[in-house]
A and B are shown apart, each in its own frame.
Chain A
Amino acid sequence: MATDPASPATDAPILEMQDVVGGYGRMTILNGTTFAVRRGTITTVIGPNGAGKSTCFKAVFGLLPLRSGRIRFNGTDVTGWTPRRLLEAGIVYIPQGRNIFPELSVRHNLEFGAVAAGPHIKDMPARIEAALDRFPSLREKADVQASTLSGGQQKQLEIMRGLLLDPSLILIDEPSIGLSPMLVQETFGILRELRDRGVTILMVEQNARSALEISDEGLVLELGQARLQGPARDILDDPRVAQLFLGGAMQPAA
């Protein structure tokens, strides 16, 4: 069956990492990382500290020079692309921690989500209004300093900002850090809603169990390599994963 090159077949992976090697200075973190992310899923990456989860995201988003390996997005080789080009292509990256500008207003923070589209994006005011409509608690604070937002609202603001250019892939690193359990569920709810609208989400979570519960797929990283990948349910139930999180090395697959 012929596929339209402009809209890749839905079963083709949206993101592929192939034998990616990279790290900081002399330290190698990604050690031949290879995996693919299915389109339209929430895929959660888990693994012990230092497994290379966040580094993986930095590699995809052009923030970590690779020593070797390839990264493909929608079948296109995007290895070495700048963040700006990746944003234009439809990927956004929401790092862990606070990534807003506390002294600027909520609205002006939001505006930064459209920077990659250049200065001439015509419907930006409309997009910002639409984004604010989706989060009424942020609309109330649209014109006050973002520093007055609660931790949960700041995360929501980051997600909103990331959605301004309608990305097809969101890389989100530890969204639950510093949030109360209720806010974590609310944030996960937003991610599911996005997934239902066709956005692919690749998430790193320390909070593995609750993240896998809302995910379609799970991916286990250890020592910079993908060890296991499959339906989130299976990953949750896999005894080897439990062992990995208890600190032991993974047994070779039975």
Chain B
Amino acid sequence: MSELIAYLIVGIATGSIYALAAIGFTLVWQTSQTINFAQGEFVMLPAILVLLAVKLLGVPIPVALLLGAVAFVLLFGVGFKRFVVDPMLPHGVLPLAIATMALAIIMKEGAKDGFSAEAQSFPSPFPSDAIQILGTAISLQFVMTIVVAFATIAALQWFVTRTRTGRQMQASAQNPTVARILGIPVERMVMLTFVINAALAALASFLISPIYLAKFSNGETIGLFAFIAAIVGGFNQVRGALLGGILVGIFDSLAAAYVSTSYRLAVPLALLVVIILVKPEGLLGRKEERHV
């Protein structure tokens, strides 16, 4: 029993990290039809940048975290939009999706050649103590990961629904033509979603790397799980991506514990197949309407 609770909490912790990536994924999809196949690499790279800053500049960890996050948001929030999405989007959704696949390869190989092919330990911002939850000893690392991820998602949800800027962002995603007619700075709002996506990815990176170590190939699994989470939850909703992320995390954790570590990738995929068969619009998704 206590073992099950431990696996559940670990699942929720990693799931909340997948949720961060999945939410960013749906945001950029909604505002600019970008299916970012480099999303996993987006979560892999910030940790590498932080380690690089420590190695090259010799700065302390907190400074390195800040530098890494800022550099990543500039390069892969603003820069990604400017230099990948903007030039490719006029050619269609598919060419853009393929461009993001190319970007994923570049990021992965870049991290390998530019930093290290080995998994590197990444400092945790949280103490390594364990606390008792329902009679089970749980590392504070997992508990704090859940707290930070949920607080971030709640803050994002508050921003999107309760602030004027957030609602202008929603309007720009839902109907850019009307948004423009009302004088909403649609371009700026779209850029904002890319900045938020990069920031969420950086946070996810800093939360997951202490658990799974920082490695150039981390993006493969994370990207796949974030993608599955987004589809399972419903592609057009923050709440959906959150639910999808948690489900995938729990499935992954339980599968690794009770089925087999070598089949762990297959279990979330099976979840994906079931959802697509039973509820193709996702658990919390709306049926997509297309106006012609």
- Residues of A within 8 Å of B185, CB to CB, are 84
Cβ of A127 within 8 Å of any chain B Cβ, yes or no, is no
- Residues of A within 8 Å of B174, CB to CB, are 101, 103
Cβ of A119 within 8 Å of any chain B Cβ, yes or no, is yes
- Name which of A1-9, A37-45, A105-113, A186-194 contacts chain B: A105-113
- Distance (whole angstroms) from the CB of B184 to the closest CB of chain A: 5
Chain B 162-181 interface 0/1 with A at a Cβ cutoff of 8 Å (1 = within): 00100110110011011111
A113 contacts B182, CB within 8 Å? Answer: yes
Complex: how many Å from CA A181 to CA B140?
Answer: 66
A104 contacts B168, CB within 8 Å? Answer: no
- Distance (whole angstroms) from the CB of A62 to the closest CB of chain B: 9
Complex: how many Å from CA A100 to CA B182?
Answer: 11
Cβ of B183 within 8 Å of any chain A Cβ, yes or no, is yes
With A101-B174, A101-B175 as contacts: A111 and B167 at CB distance below 8 Å: yes
Cβ of A115 within 8 Å of any chain B Cβ, yes or no, is yes
- Distance (whole angstroms) from the CB of A126 to the closest CB of chain B: 16
Contact of B182 among A63, A104, A115, A119 (CB under 8 A): A115
- Residues of A within 8 Å of B175, CB to CB, are 99, 101
- Residues of B within 8 Å of A115, CB to CB, are 168, 182-184
With A111-B164, A119-B164 as contacts: A104 and B170 at CB distance below 8 Å: yes
- Residues of B within 8 Å of A100, CB to CB, are 178
- Distance (whole angstroms) from the CB of B103 to the closest CB of chain A: 31
Q: How many chain-B residues does the 8 Å CB contact rule pick out?
A: 16
Complex: how many Å from CA A93 to CA B177?
Answer: 12
Complex: how many Å from CA A83 to CA B177?
Answer: 11
Q: Which residue of A lies closest to B184 (CB)?
A: A115
- Residues of B within 8 Å of A111, CB to CB, are 164, 167
- Residues of A within 8 Å of B167, CB to CB, are 104, 108, 111-112
Cβ of A61 within 8 Å of any chain B Cβ, yes or no, is yes
Q: Which residue of B lies closest to A118 (CB)?
A: B183
Complex: how many Å from CA A115 to CA B17?
Answer: 35
- Residues of B within 8 Å of A95, CB to CB, are 177-178, 181
A101 contacts B181, CB within 8 Å? Answer: no
- Residues of B within 8 Å of A59, CB to CB, are none
| B170, B182, B184, B185 pick with most chain A CB within 10 angstroms | B182
Q: Which residue of A lies closest to B178 (CB)?
A: A99
- Distance (whole angstroms) from the CB of A115 to the closest CB of chain B: 5
- Distance (whole angstroms) from the CB of B95 to the closest CB of chain A: 21
Those of B140-179 within 8 Å (CB) of chain A:
164, 167-168, 170-171, 174-175, 177-179
- Residues of B within 8 Å of A104, CB to CB, are 167, 170-171
- Residues of A within 8 Å of B181, CB to CB, are 61, 63, 83, 93, 95, 99
A83 contacts B180, CB within 8 Å? Answer: yes
B183 contacts A84, CB within 8 Å? Answer: yes
- Residues of A within 8 Å of B164, CB to CB, are 111, 119
- Residues of A within 8 Å of B184, CB to CB, are 112, 115
Q: Which residue of B lies closest to A97 (CB)?
A: B291
Those of B224-239 within 8 Å (CB) of chain A:
none
- Distance (whole angstroms) from the CB of A178 to the closest CB of chain B: 14
B183 contacts A83, CB within 8 Å? Answer: yes
B178 contacts A101, CB within 8 Å? Answer: yes
A101 contacts B170, CB within 8 Å? Answer: yes
Cβ of A87 within 8 Å of any chain B Cβ, yes or no, is yes
Complex: how many Å from CA A99 to CA B168?
Answer: 14
Complex: how many Å from CA A16 to CA B181?
Answer: 20
Cβ of A244 within 8 Å of any chain B Cβ, yes or no, is no
- Residues of B within 8 Å of A112, CB to CB, are 167-168, 171, 179, 182, 184
- Residues of B within 8 Å of A177, CB to CB, are none
- Residues of A within 8 Å of B179, CB to CB, are 112
Complex: how many Å from CA A101 to CA B168?
Answer: 11
- Residues of A within 8 Å of B178, CB to CB, are 95, 99-101
Cβ of A116 within 8 Å of any chain B Cβ, yes or no, is yes
- Distance (whole angstroms) from the CB of A52 to the closest CB of chain B: 19
Chain A 50-67 interface 0/1 with B at a Cβ cutoff of 8 Å (1 = within): 000000000001010000
- Distance (whole angstroms) from the CB of B286 to the closest CB of chain A: 9
Complex: how many Å from CA A113 to CA B181?
Answer: 10
Complex: how many Å from CA A116 to CA B179?
Answer: 11
Complex: how many Å from CA A83 to CA B168?
Answer: 15
- Residues of B within 8 Å of A101, CB to CB, are 170-171, 174-175, 178
- Residues of B within 8 Å of A119, CB to CB, are 164
- Distance (whole angstroms) from the CB of B190 to the closest CB of chain A: 16
Please give the residue numbers on chain A whose beta carbons come within 8 Å of chain B beta carbons, in ascending order: 61, 63, 83-84, 87-88, 93, 95, 99-101, 103-104, 108, 111-113, 115-116, 119, 161
The 3 residue pairs across chains A and B that have the minimum distance between CB atoms: A116-B183, A84-B183, A87-B183
Interchain Cβ contacts under 8 Å between A and B, 8 examples: A61-B181, A63-B180, A84-B183, A99-B181, A103-B174, A111-B167, A112-B179, A115-B184
A sample of 4 more A-B contacts (CB under 8 A), given A112-B168, A115-B182, is A63-B180, A63-B181, A99-B178, A112-B171
